[in-house]
Each structure stands twice: as C-alpha cells, then as structure tokens.
A and B are shown apart, each in its own frame.
Chain A
Amino acid sequence: MDIMKIKLENRPDYVEIKEAPSRFRNAIGKYKVRRSLQCINCGTCVQSCPYGVHVMHKNTKRVSRPKDYKCIGFECQNKPFYCIDKCPVNALSLAINPLYETFGDYRWTSDLILSTWAQAETGKIPHVELEYRTGRSGGGFDRLKFDFPEEEIEQEGKGARGQGGKEGTDANHQSPITNHQSPISTSIALNRRNDGRPEITIDIPIYGGGMSYGSVSLPTMLARAKAAKVWNTFTCTGEGGYPEELKDYDDYVITQVATGLFGVREETIQRVRIVEFKYAQGAKPGLGGHLLGDKVTKDVARMREAVAGSALFSPFPFHSVYSVEDHKKHVDWIKEINPKALVSVKVATPTDVDMVAVGSYHAGAHIIHLDGSYGGTGAAPDIAKKNIAMPIEYAIPKVHRFLVEEGIRNEMVLIASGGLRTAYDVAKAIALGADGVVIGTAEMVALECTRCSNCESGRGCARGIATTDPELSDLINMEWGAQRIINLYAAWRSQLVEILRRFRMTSIKQLRGRTDCLIYQK
C-alpha cells in the first residue's frame, strides 16, 4: 500500500498512514471463505478478487489460505469478480463467520470491533459492510443520529457505508481522507482562560485517556504516546508513575495526580504541559482504583514505590479535599510546581456534576473532564460499571448548559469520555456540548483488544495489551501499535471532516452544543 499523507493545520509535517495488519496469523472477519482440496491452484481467484482475499504464495505457487477478513461477503454475489462463481472447480465456499455472530456486546458490537480493527489497519472506513458508527445499546449515542441538511442525505445511499460519499463499489473506494487540503479544521484549544499560561492547541478534538503503567504494558503506553505526538495531541500516564521511556514524548503526555498519589513526584509534574487530577473514574465512580496483586510486578512496584505482589488501592476520595476550597488548594499546588502547566480535572458523573464543573472553574482548572459511567477500566466491580453515576450522554448537556448559564462556558474546556467508541460518538458528544473527547477503549481495540474483559486477572491481558507480564508485553511491537492508533484517528478525522462538511461547517468548534443537528431515534 502507498503511504498516505495527511497535512495538518498547525504543523509543518505530515501524518503518515501505513497499512498495519493484524499481528495474528488468522485475522477475524465477518465472513469465512473456505478453499477445499479440490483447488487446482489455477490462480483465477487471485486475479479476480480486487480486495486481496486470495493470494498466491510467491515460492510454492500455491494459493494461500484466504484472507477472508477482507472479503465483502454476499454483496459480492452480483459482482463480475465473485470468486465462488469464478472458481472453475467449485473449490470455494462462503459463509458468515460463526465467530462474528457471537462476538462483541451491546455497546461494542462485533461490527464496531471489526470496523475499528479495519480502520486501525488501513486508516480508512472499512470496505466490508459493517456498522462502524453506532452500537446497539438502545440508548444515548446509539439513539442519536445526525440531521444532515436534506440535499445531501439523498447522496447518502442506504448502506452502512454511505457516510463516506457514494457506496463503495470497488476496492479503490476512497475515503474522504485524501481530502487533506480541506479547509475544515478539527483542532481545539485547551486553554481558554487567558491566564498567561501557554495556549495549547491539539489537531484533533481527541486525546488519550489515563492508563497507568501497571494496568497496561510499556509498549502499549509508548504506542499511545507516539500516536499522540504524531497527531499533535496528548496521551495520559494514569496513576502509576511516569516511565523514563516516555521522555521523548513529554510534550504530549498528561500526567495524572490521583487519590493514591502513586508515582507522583515534583519532577514528573514539571515534565509535562498538562496535569490531570483524577477525582473519580466513570467505570467505578466513588470507589477509587484497584490494581490486583498479580499485576504488581517488580517494575510496577518500583515505579509506584510499593511492594511487588500485593494489591494496590487508590482510595476514594482525595483525603485532602473536602471542599471546593481544598480543591483550589490542590490546583494551586500544581500551578506552583509547574508554572507552565494547564490543569485538567477529571470527575465522574453524579447528579450534581454541573456544580462540580463550576467548582473546578472557580478553583482555576483549565479543563473539566467528565468521565461517564459506561467507560472503560482495567478492573472495576460489575455493580459499579452498570449502576453508579450516569452515562456521559446525560452529563455533557447538563454541564454545558450550566456553564453557559453561569457565563463561563467560553473560558472552560469541556472534555467528555466514558463510552465513546466511534468518530460518530465523538461528533455527537461535541454536538451535545463538549469541546473534545478522551478515548481509551477504542485505542485498546485498535491494538486488537477483543474486550474479553480479563484485563484484571492473573497475568493480565492474554493479548499483551493490559499486562505487565514481560512475556505477554512482548506481543506488542510499539511501532506497530503506534501506527494502528495513528490510522484509527486518521479514519476518525476523515469522518469528522465529512460530518462538518455536510453541515457546511468549517471547524469542529462550530459543532459544539448544536443539539439541533441531532435527531433522537425511535
């Protein structure tokens, strides 16, 4: 594949999109193509398939096992290149992959996981028919859709892929990504207080959520940091120390000060441009953090100044904060230690989240970061994930409106996270009133997370993402991981640009709070 380059608004250089296929031998797709022993290796299928499902092995001159995750499935039936019909000896058969039907869940459907994988591989909207915009949770983002101006709806077509323009009819189906000369801006400013601290702008309205060293592996952290640097945005260390290996990315790292203060030092706070206070996490609001003993390896323990093998708790709440005044004291403390840093305050979504946001404004925070209750986590009680605090879709408009009423909306940056899975979720969150979003799980899925939800137990993630086990961590190559995340954001950005174009907007900032652009589906 050619390397595709995207020019960004605030930078002299380009973002490079390179293909980064699955690191596993058998990639998972929607369809299964089987080749029986009748195959005579004539190569007809290799020549006809424009998607690269069939490949002739260079040396043996035999046709390899089909790369069926690239297959467009039954919609190919009427195409002139349909391999099943073309095969002279009827050696090929096509079926839905049984795994596809039992994969995923309400929030992350199999379509969403597979399409995120496809976007991470190619940097484009998937060419296979997959619903890449919404899940099927039956509420919130999954019931909202955009009310695009009429004349352009007609172009949309019926398929799930309509958003990219016309239906993709061939393998060269181009996503709007090539549209890099576009004057449409996706950048947002992170300091709007005009307080003499640096003006920081990020080129996509997205940055990475806090994941600690301990909850995820070092290659995972580095991959995220590199992707953040390439996109001129940020990633976050979470609460668990600041590994030296991140040095090259200091300007693109947010370090977290959370209730356990694990790994927090003056030097780490002075290294970065943004410091984040974590009061609560959406997946386990009011419960603090928990790293099970198995994941506290020697290195993790050293970083956190703890004992290897024993479970670590971050208590709830900050035991030094009982009031907004105390909170201000905290913010002042960081500002004093690092006079150039911006301060973000991460909170969960209780009923009074709007008051909390205003409190943070008065304490001097630059960013209020709301983490909704359906967000990701390395480990949380199931009861908390499902029941405690409200989904982010409710919290964003509540806080947005209140900040507007208080007359401070334009000084505060409102960032939303917790259950945002797709570019469309990002755009919907912004239309509901956020300035930008924080992404966690989608980045993990880009690294081929299957959401099996066993991040917390034993050695951690079997796929090498959320683990500190040395052997398992080796399953991820940092360069590959970075490219997957870069590609995912390239695909997302192209979708954001397309949404803005259809609304005839020139900047993502114009979409903020435009609930009139949304329709609530039955």
Chain B
Amino acid sequence: MPQKYHITPRPTLPRFTPIGKYGTIDWMEDCLGCSKCVKKHSCVYENYDKQTSFAQKMKSVEYLYICKNCLRCVQECTKGLLQRVVNPEYSWLGDSYWAPDTILSTWYQAETGKIPVSGAGYRGPFVGEGFDEIWTDMSEIVRPTRDGIHGREYISTAVELGRRLTALKFNSNNELISDVPPFVNIPIPLIFNILPFGDLSPTVFLSMAQAAAKLGTFMIIKAEDYFDKLNPYLKNLIPLSTVKAIEEYQEIIKAVKIAEFIYTDNIIEHIQRAKQINPDLIVSIRLPMNKNADYMIDELARSGAEIIHLYADDNGNELDGLNPRFIKDVIRGVHLRLVETASRDKVTIIASGGIALAEHLAKIIICGADLAAIDLPLLIALECRLCRNCRNDLPCPVEIHQATPEYAVPRMTNLIGAWHSQLIEVLGAMGLREVRRLRGEVGRAMFYEDLERETFGSVKRET
C-alpha cells in the first residue's frame, strides 16, 4: 500500500483582522454602571475582555470577528441596552456566487487547516442553483468498513493526468510493445489555475508554486509571468501560452512535465512542435466553456488530445451567449458524450471556474471531470475579500502583494488540506475507496430534479 497522503496543517493567523458576521452595539448613555455587567459576567467567550485588552495594547478594537451570536449579553443586560447586529461589511463581502459564508469558511480553513464543523442542523435553503442541486450519496450498513477518515483504511485521492491507452499490447516474449504516452500522477484531484485577478506579485506566484510543490500538484502560470526564482519548482508548473509562443518559451517547455496551450484551430498539429522540444511533455489544451464545448472536446479527444482543460467564468457559467449553462451540466454532457464515443478513458478532463468549496470539487468529479483547477479560493486563502479593487487599480485592503511565502504557503496548503479531508469524508460516506471511481458516478449522487419528480410528481400543484 502506498504511503498515506496527508497534509499536515500549520495554523497561520491572518495578517488583517477578518470581517466577522456579528457584533453588538450598546446604548451607553443609559448604562446604570451596575455591578452585574454582562460584559464582565455573561460572555462565555470573553469577547469583552478581549476587546479591553486590544484597547490597552492600542490595537484596533475589532470585536465584530469574535462575537458568537449567543445573545446572552443582549438578554441579560440589566437595562437591555445591548443589541446584536449583523456587520454590514460582512454582507458586502464577495458576491451572489462567492457568498460571504463561503469566504468566511475559506478563511477559517486557510487559517486552521481544519474542516469547518458546527453544531445545530443545516441552515441554508432547501436547494440552490448549480452545485446546490446535487446531494451526494452514502452507504448505510452493507458495505465493508471503509472508515478512511479515522484511520484503518486508505482512501486514495490520486488521479493521473495524460492520455491513456485503452489496452496494452505485448509481443510473444511478453514485452510491452505499445507506445505508452507520458502521464503524471498527483495525489489530489486538483491543480492551481491562473488567478483571474488579484493584487499579485512575484512572491505570490512563488508562494503558489511552493504550495503546489508541497502538495505534490501543479500550478498553471502564464508563461510571461515566469521568473527565475521559480526554477526549483519547474516540475510543478504548467506554463500557459498560445501555440504561437512555443518557440519563445522553449526553455521553460523543455523543463516542465505539462504545458498548457490556449485552444486555436488545428491545435493538435501545432502542439507537435512543443512535443519536439520536449518529447516527454504532456500537453493540456485550454478550451473555453461555450456552446460548442461538447462537440469540440469530442473532436479533440478523438484526434489525440491528452488533457483538456475546460474553463468557465468565475461563477462557473459558460463564457458566451444568453442563458449560459452551468459547469456541472456542461461537464455531465461532455462526459456522457465521450462515454458514448468510447473516448472518455483516453483523455483527462480538467474543469475550472466556480469551484468554490470542497463539495464542488467532489460534485464536479461526480459529473464527469477527472479533476478541477481552482483559483479564487487560493486568493481568498490569502484573505482576499473579492472587493475587486485591484481590477480598478485601487489598493488592496489586505495587501496581498505583500504576502510572504512563510504566511502564504501554509495558508494555501491548509485550505487544500481541509478540502482533502472533506473529499475523504464524502468518499468515505459513500463507501468509495478512491476518487477515480467517483468520476462520472452519478449513481452516487441525487439530483434535485429527479427527486422532486419521484417524490412530488403526483402531488397536486398550486394553480
């Protein structure tokens, strides 16, 4: 059995006080100054004490982050002077897809490396759009023990990248005569995508590369962003360029295992040039997710593509047209089409765009991707608030460009470590022992539409 893949978390505090959800305000004018002050006696989290010590150290009083919303102080104050409020800054975080809760949860994971755990039941809507239309399955009793979470057995999250043969051929001396294309194995089904925006600097890229190396995975980087300090991490980099620029970047291409090229017509012919530069190179084709994607992937798969990276917009939607399809639906279609043309096992499919939470990773694989490329969660791990100031050349409120590897590498690995644990939780609940078995396994998922039809199909509708 291979050694168990484990990401050891290294708790790393944020550099800026995070934005919390709750806080209290009080009406000091009416305060009696009584001896039963709730600030002294009621708060089991000692938040008010913390505030005082903050103030004594002349640090800013940022109590909004730590209030746990138990309402004891609100309900016990002698004169009822306290009021719990929702931090308005909290509701301005992110957008409708990258919701404040998603950002807060990502911050927590990046800080601690732990799975977010909480008491009381689920709090959200019954069903949502996109990934929130899927529930994953579990196994009750009849499967053998697969408690990969707490120890005994090994749940593999490794995937291969590259083109695969459907069968190996041997000669009469039992020698392999098939020409096996190059492939690489990574221990988690995710790689780092290029960041769509951000207050980026060479140290941020360096940190990402170091984190990718530490995790044993890859980082896609625009070839023009490459600089010498990244040399030690070349084996974990995927340079991205157009096919026209192959010559320009041939030194890098020579040194890496995988290179990614932006899709153009006749790309399969163009990439032969890269293969000449580096015969062991695996090529990934970066294909925009649009109305033709299904057709184009099928064509590419048949004409010998090794990896196809299908990218959606930041929120997982198609890049063109009205009524864009969501990534999960596109990937499901692509996967089925490739299964029908008997080419699914030949290519590796990477999906990116809108992968915001660990559950999205599991779900996109269920829909048919081999792995995902993630971007914004890495930025959020560095405390990004998705304010998008950087897009307008305004200063970054959390000065991401200042992030050092000492801070940024553990933050990113913590996040991925927490995602890895969550992926294992999902797999363990299903009784699956490896993530490769999850690919396209829609039978291990339940879809809203199907459940609604089966359950309420015969119930009277409101007219």
- Listed in ascending order, the chain A residues whose CB lies under 8 Å from chain B are 22, 24-28, 65, 98-99, 102, 105-108, 137-140, 142-144, 147, 279-280, 283, 285-288, 290, 313, 315-319, 321-324, 326-327, 347-348, 350-353, 356, 359, 373-391, 393-394, 397-398, 418-419, 441, 444, 449-459, 461-463, 466, 472, 515-516, 518-522
Q: What is the bound-complex CA distance between A98 and B71, given in angstroms?
A: 13
- On whether A454 and B122 interact (CB within 8 A), knowing A390-B135, A522-B462, the answer reads no
Least Cβ–Cβ distance between A260 and chain B, in angstroms: 11
Partner of A383, one of B70, B84, B138, B422: B422
Q: Quick check: B461 and A391 within 8 Å, CB to CB? A: no
Partner of A381, one of B115, B134, B137: B115
List the 10 closest A-B pairs by CB distance, nearest first.
Answer: A286-B429, A139-B126, A455-B119, A462-B70, A24-B75, A105-B123, A286-B138, A137-B126, A376-B121, A285-B138
Chain A residue with Cβ nearest B91? A102
Partner of A386, one of B122, B139, B145: B122
Chain B residue with Cβ nearest A515? B459
Instruction: Tell me the total A-B contact number using a CB cutoff of 8 A.
Output: 264
Q: Quick check: A451 and B122 within 8 Å, CB to CB? A: no
Q: Quick check: B127 and A373 within 8 Å, CB to CB? A: no
Chain B residue with Cβ nearest A374? B122
- On whether A347 and B140 interact (CB within 8 A), knowing A27-B75, A290-B117, the answer reads yes
Q: Quick check: B359 and A315 within 8 Å, CB to CB? A: no
Q: What is the bound-complex CA distance between A138 and B138, given in angstroms?
A: 24
Chain B residue with Cβ nearest A431? B459
In the bound complex, residues from chain A placing their C-beta under 8 Å from that of B136 are: 387-389
In the bound complex, residues from chain A placing their C-beta under 8 Å from that of B84 are: 99, 102
In the bound complex, residues from chain B placing their C-beta under 8 Å from that of A457 are: 119
- On whether A441 and B120 interact (CB within 8 A), knowing A102-B85, A393-B455, the answer reads yes
- On whether A456 and B135 interact (CB within 8 A), knowing A280-B140, A319-B145, A351-B446, the answer reads no
Chain B residue with Cβ nearest A317? B141
- Listed in ascending order, the chain B residues whose CB lies under 8 Å from chain A are 43-45, 68-72, 74-80, 83-86, 105, 115-127, 134-145, 147, 149-150, 357-359, 362-363, 422, 425-426, 428-431, 443, 446, 451, 454-456, 458-462
Q: What is the bound-complex CA distance between A279 and B137, given in angstroms?
A: 15
Least Cβ–Cβ distance between B82 and chain A, in angstroms: 9
In the bound complex, residues from chain B placing their C-beta under 8 Å from that of A315 are: 147, 150
Q: Quick check: A456 and B119 within 8 Å, CB to CB? A: yes
Least Cβ–Cβ distance between B457 and chain A, in angstroms: 9
Least Cβ–Cβ distance between B427 and chain A, in angstroms: 9
Partner of A25, one of B77, B122, B150, B426: B77
Chain B residue with Cβ nearest A389? B138
- On whether A322 and B142 interact (CB within 8 A), knowing A108-B123, A387-B426, the answer reads yes
Least Cβ–Cβ distance between A355 and chain B, in angstroms: 9
Q: Quick check: B138 and A350 within 8 Å, CB to CB? A: yes
Partner of B72, one of A322, A451, A462: A462
Least Cβ–Cβ distance between B330 and chain A, in angstroms: 21
In the bound complex, residues from chain A placing their C-beta under 8 Å from that of B123 are: 105-108, 451, 453
Q: Quick check: B120 and A453 within 8 Å, CB to CB? A: yes
Chain B residue with Cβ nearest A320? B145
Least Cβ–Cβ distance between B454 and chain A, in angstroms: 7
Of B45, B139, B357, B431, most buried by chain A (CB within 10 Å of CB) is B139
Chain B residue with Cβ nearest A23? B75
Q: What is the bound-complex CA distance between A383 and B429, given in angstroms?
A: 12
- On whether A462 and B115 interact (CB within 8 A), knowing A279-B141, A519-B461, the answer reads no
Q: Quick check: A286 and B118 within 8 Å, CB to CB? A: no
Of B83, B140, B149, most buried by chain A (CB within 10 Å of CB) is B140
Q: What is the bound-complex CA distance between A455 and B150, given in angstroms?
A: 22
In the bound complex, residues from chain A placing their C-beta under 8 Å from that of B456 are: 144, 520
Q: What is the bound-complex CA distance between A249 and B306, given in angstroms?
A: 67
In the bound complex, residues from chain A placing their C-beta under 8 Å from that of B139 are: 286, 317, 350
Q: Quick check: A382 and B75 within 8 Å, CB to CB? A: no
Least Cβ–Cβ distance between A472 and chain B, in angstroms: 7
Q: What is the bound-complex CA distance between A349 and B112, given in angstroms?
A: 31
In the bound complex, residues from chain B placing their C-beta under 8 Å from that of A418 are: 121
Q: Quick check: B70 and A350 within 8 Å, CB to CB? A: no
In the bound complex, residues from chain A placing their C-beta under 8 Å from that of B70 are: 450, 452, 454, 461-463
Chain B residue with Cβ nearest A352? B140
Provide a sorted-by-A list of 7 A–B residue pairs whose CB atoms are within 8 angstroms: A99-B74, A139-B126, A283-B121, A374-B122, A379-B119, A385-B121, A457-B119
Q: Quick check: A383 and B459 within 8 Å, CB to CB? A: no
In the bound complex, residues from chain B placing their C-beta under 8 Å from that of A463 are: 70-72
Q: Quick check: A472 and B425 within 8 Å, CB to CB? A: no
Q: Quick check: B454 and A398 within 8 Å, CB to CB? A: yes
Partner of A518, one of B117, B430, B459: B459
Q: Quick check: B119 and A390 within 8 Å, CB to CB? A: no
Least Cβ–Cβ distance between B315 and chain A, in angstroms: 19
Least Cβ–Cβ distance between B203 and chain A, in angstroms: 32
Least Cβ–Cβ distance between B63 and chain A, in angstroms: 16
Q: What is the bound-complex CA distance between A108 and B35, given in angstroms?
A: 36
Q: Quick check: B115 and A521 within 8 Å, CB to CB? A: no
Q: Quick check: B147 and A316 within 8 Å, CB to CB? A: yes
Q: Quick check: B78 and A287 within 8 Å, CB to CB? A: no
Q: Quick check: A144 and B459 within 8 Å, CB to CB? A: yes
Q: Quick check: A142 and B126 within 8 Å, CB to CB? A: yes
Q: What is the bound-complex CA distance between A159 and B138, given in angstroms?
A: 42
- On whether A375 and B135 interact (CB within 8 A), knowing A348-B140, A520-B460, the answer reads no
Q: Quick check: B459 and A455 within 8 Å, CB to CB? A: no
In the bound complex, residues from chain B placing their C-beta under 8 Å from that of A454 are: 68-70, 118-119
Least Cβ–Cβ distance between B147 and chain A, in angstroms: 5
Q: Quick check: B44 and A379 within 8 Å, CB to CB? A: no
Chain A residue with Cβ nearest B68? A454
In the bound complex, residues from chain B placing their C-beta under 8 Å from that of A385 are: 118, 121-122
In the bound complex, residues from chain B placing their C-beta under 8 Å from that of A456 are: 117-119
Least Cβ–Cβ distance between B65 and chain A, in angstroms: 14
Partner of B121, one of A27, A107, A147, A515: A107
Q: Quick check: A382 and B105 within 8 Å, CB to CB? A: yes
In the bound complex, residues from chain A placing their C-beta under 8 Å from that of B68 are: 452, 454, 462
In the bound complex, residues from chain A placing their C-beta under 8 Å from that of B461 are: 519-520, 522
Q: What is the bound-complex CA distance between A290 and B84, given in angstroms?
A: 31
Q: What is the bound-complex CA distance between A456 and B70, given in angstroms?
A: 13
Of B116, B138, B359, B458, most buried by chain A (CB within 10 Å of CB) is B138
Q: What is the bound-complex CA distance between A459 and B43, given in angstroms?
A: 12
Q: Quick check: A375 and B121 within 8 Å, CB to CB? A: yes
Q: What is the bound-complex CA distance between A241 and B118, given in angstroms?
A: 23
In the bound complex, residues from chain A placing their C-beta under 8 Å from that of B147 are: 288, 315-317
- On whether A462 and B141 interact (CB within 8 A), knowing A394-B451, A521-B462, the answer reads no
Q: Quick check: B138 and A280 within 8 Å, CB to CB? A: yes
In the bound complex, residues from chain A placing their C-beta under 8 Å from that of B459 are: 144, 515, 518-520
Q: Quick check: A24 and B76 within 8 Å, CB to CB? A: yes
In the bound complex, residues from chain B placing their C-beta under 8 Å from that of A143 are: 126
Q: What is the bound-complex CA distance between A347 and B429, given in angstroms?
A: 13
Chain A residue with Cβ nearest B118? A453
Q: What is the bound-complex CA distance between A22 and B461, given in angstroms?
A: 41
Of A24, A462, A518, most buried by chain B (CB within 10 Å of CB) is A462
Least Cβ–Cβ distance between B209 and chain A, in angstroms: 28
Least Cβ–Cβ distance between B32 and chain A, in angstroms: 12
Q: Quick check: A462 and B137 within 8 Å, CB to CB? A: no
Chain B residue with Cβ nearest A363? B141
Q: Quick check: B120 and A373 within 8 Å, CB to CB? A: no
Q: Quick check: B116 and A388 within 8 Å, CB to CB? A: no
- On whether A313 and B150 interact (CB within 8 A), knowing A139-B126, A388-B135, the answer reads yes
In the bound complex, residues from chain B placing their C-beta under 8 Å from that of A140 are: 126
Q: What is the bound-complex CA distance between A376 and B121, given in angstroms?
A: 4
